[in-house]
């Protein structure tokens, strides 16, 4: 398999976290229109930068950073799911701010950091690989947001509850490593 095909397959695998998160956040109506545009861009940037950083730094850091990032992401999802479930207003007023978007984008792209370490061993086109990871992850985030907004529109009143439950399940997955 040539490098571009391999990079595309890796990019799809790396994009799955961002995809699932974008479905949950948009189903729960956590993103304003501006943030629906910003989120895929931030995810794409993180998926571009992280493999390059991984290429430059050592294995010990990546192993520890990956574990910490999973816990952070799990805690963020747990907090969001609790806030969504406990909100009593009919219209959901909870919205993610840009700091949350950056933190979520950073944590879903930590795997790219580790991949960057591996690419440095058998790859000479790390910049191209990072660009492919960036584009594919941003695209999957847009697709996830689109699916989430569709679900929100068609199941209206239950969308908040479904999004909350999905965020809670993701929080358990990341905290307990299921």
Domain boundaries, the chain: 3-11+27-176
The pTM is what? 0.76
Write the pLDDT tens digit of every residue in 75-126.
877 877 777 676 645 454 567 788 888 888 888 888 888 787 777 666 567 7
Q: What angle do CA 95, 84, 87 make, to 5 degrees?
A: 95
């Amino acid at each position: 398999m040539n490098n571009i095909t391999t990079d595309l397959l890796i990019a799809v695998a790396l994009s799955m976290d961002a995809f699932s998160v974008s479905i949950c956040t948009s189903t729960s109506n956590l993103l304003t229109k501006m943030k629906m545009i910003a989120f895929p861009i931030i995810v794409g940037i993180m998926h571009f930068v992280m493999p390059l950083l991984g290429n430059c730094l050592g294995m010990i850091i990546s192993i520890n950073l990956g574990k910490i990032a999973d816990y952070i992401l799990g805690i963020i999802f747990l907090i969001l799911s609790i806030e969504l479930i406990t909100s009593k207003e009919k219209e959901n007023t909870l919205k993610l701010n840009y700091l949350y978007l950056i933190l979520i984008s950073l944590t879903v792209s930590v795997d790219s950091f580790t991949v960057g370490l591996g690419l440095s061993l058998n790859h000479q086109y790390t910049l191209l690989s990072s660009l492919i990871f960036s584009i594919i992850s941003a695209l999957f985030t847009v697709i996830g947001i689109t699916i989430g907004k569709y679900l929100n529109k068609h199941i209206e009143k239950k969308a908040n509850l479904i999004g909350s439950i999905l965020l809670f399940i993701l929080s358990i997955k990341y905290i307990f490593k299921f």
